[in-house]
Amino acid sequence: MRPATFPPQSVEGTGLQSRLHTVLPAPLRVEPADGVEFFLTPGTTIRTTPTPEATAVGRYLAELLRRPTGYPLPVVPAGRADAPGGISLLLTDDGTGPTPDSTGEGYVLEATASGVVIRAQTAAGLFYGVQTLRQLLPAKIESGRRQTGPWTVPGGRIEDAPRFAYRGAMLDVARHFFAVPHVLRFIDHLARYKLNHLHLHLTDDQGWRIAIDSWPRLTTVGGTTEVDGGPGGYYTQEQYREIVAYAAARHITVVPEIDLPGHTNAALTSYGALAPDGVAPPEYTGTDVGFSALAVHNELTYRFVDEVLGEVAALTPGPYLHIGGDEAFTLSLDDYRVFVDRVQPIVTGHGKRVMGWHQIAVAGPSAGRVIQYWGTGETDPAVTEAVAQGAQVVLSPGNRSYLDMKYDAGTPLGKDWAGLVEVRQAYDWDPGAYLAGVPAEAVLGVEAPLWTETIASVSDIEFMTFPRLPAIAELGWSPAAAHDWADFRLRLARQGDRWSAAGITFHRSPEVPWPGTPVVPGPRPAPAAPEAPAQAVAPADG
């Protein structure tokens, strides 16, 4: 059940108190000030602690609010004796901010009739406070066009901090390629719900999506295909840097995945010498898995791995390199272990932590290793043993968090190998107590993967992502005591009007009491612009 600070509220309610209690993910503590509200006006200013990090968050907020309100909302430095009024974003360690938490991502938001103040110890905390503030404003604040007010924020105080350090989603750009603007739009979706990791599945049998200078044929050959014979594509290193920078500005860490030793047909087609028989296989545009693998006893393979991972590591400031490791069905267990045991030191040698799908648990330990569990059961002895040896776990159970699973038998997109995953199925589990032998302190966090065998457009991405992504986001952010399906479905329903205002396609789940008119998948449109201006990026080559 929800803590006592979260009284029951009705989705039909339109009062100030009901809006304060509709934030998603659920905050730690909410203290409403009944009858109090703050009005955003043409004279409102945004004041920030005069540091580049805080100022950047202020500018982000201004860009979000200027489009629908039409107000100038200048961003100015906050003074020590600032007059009341406006919106203040303050970095503080003087005891007026949030109670320190292990992530440093907590914040306190206070709204009075004279202004809104968000305090945090880090810019990330300010950013997450901004995401809460946008949910306290009317739903039409999400529109890309000018709307009429009033623009009110309910009075009260919210104190908040995340449960888990790692809260993420994965986008598979290998099965179907998605150009840079599409990825930036997906990043904005993650930011709405305080997710802080974007896992990019960059390589697979159907395509190689990142340019590697030392192995150029990976993209000039391996990047030209995708599922169903589409044109494919890939990111130049500059384009990849653009994605990383855009994510970082939203306090999201990119986790690149180079899937090894299986799921490598695009690499083998590009460089036949890496294949077990030394012969390049034909291109592959189907959706079967498990038929490809690198030559694990060939020293050229490890030179290839070292050079590829070295270039990706140099482009990626985050701490993780994901090496895949799943579904290498053509390899014996001994050969698979030989490969992973050789590759893990390569990753750490490039200054990164090893991350991989849970199959890598059978290999020897590696300092800082993260096992990503995607199974559908609640026991895995190999993962339990890896945790006993010091590994951490990110939970992505296929029958709970996979965004590519069908909602029901009639869903036009997706697969059903892990079962049908409606919203309650995605929400009703506890990552901290899910996997036997894995204590809560060994759980780094949660991730919602979206595989794209059947996903080919931005509309497809959004239809499969919403409304399940906010469910996983709440499991990652909110305390276990706040997880309550009956309450969550009401708060989730309030998000529908926001998604409609933002032009986001979503599944109108029958489990959720949505207000208003549904947004349904239609012809695949050109993607809308990202939420904040980004430097123009040329289309990917290939």
- Rounded Cα distance between 257 and 302, Å, is 17
Cα gap 338→72, rounded to integer Å: 60
Strand intervals (E) in 378-457: 392-395, 443-450
**Position of tokens 């399906």?**
485
Give the Å distances, CA to CA, from 349 to 313, 336, 343, 352. 10, 20, 10, 7
Phi, psi dihedral angles at 239 (to 5 degrees): -65, -40
Active-site annotation holder among 53, 63, 307, 327: 327
Lookup: tokens for 508: 């109108």
Residue holding tokens 């995605």? 426
Non-local CB neighbours of 356 within 8 Å, separated by 6+ positions: 322, 323, 324, 325, 340, 369, 370, 371, 372
Residues 422, 408: contact at Cβ < 8 Å? yes
Phi, psi of 61 (to 5 degrees): -60, -45
Encoded tokens for 176: 């179907």
Contact 164, 476 (CB under 8 A): yes
Cα angle 425, 411, 499 (rounded to 5 degrees) comes to 75
What is the C-alpha separation between 98 and 155, in angstroms, rounded? 18
Kind and range of the H or E run holding 398: helix 398-401
CA atoms within a 13 Å half-sphere pointing along the CA-CB vector of 104: 8
Residue 327 a catalytic site member: yes
Strands 46-48 and 75-77: parallel
User: DSSP per residue over 105-159, as a string?
Assistant: --EEEEEETTEEEEEESSHHHHHHHHHHHHHHS-GGGG-SS-----EEEEEEEEE
58 and 86 Cβ atoms separated by less than 8 Å: no
The Cα–Cα gap between 158 and 476 comes to: 18
| Tokens of residue 94, six digits | 């003087």
Phi/psi of residue 424, nearest 5 degrees: -65, -40
Which distant-in-sequence residues (6+ apart) come within 8 Å of 148 by Cβ?
A: none
Distance CA 9, CA 454 (A): 38
- Residue 183 contacts residue 172 (beta carbons within 8 Å): no
User: If you write DSSP's letter for every residue of 170-195 in order, what string do you get?
Assistant: EEE-SSS---HHHHHHHHHHHHHTT-
Task: State whether residue 356 is helix, strand or coil.
Answer: strand
Residues serving a catalytic function are 327
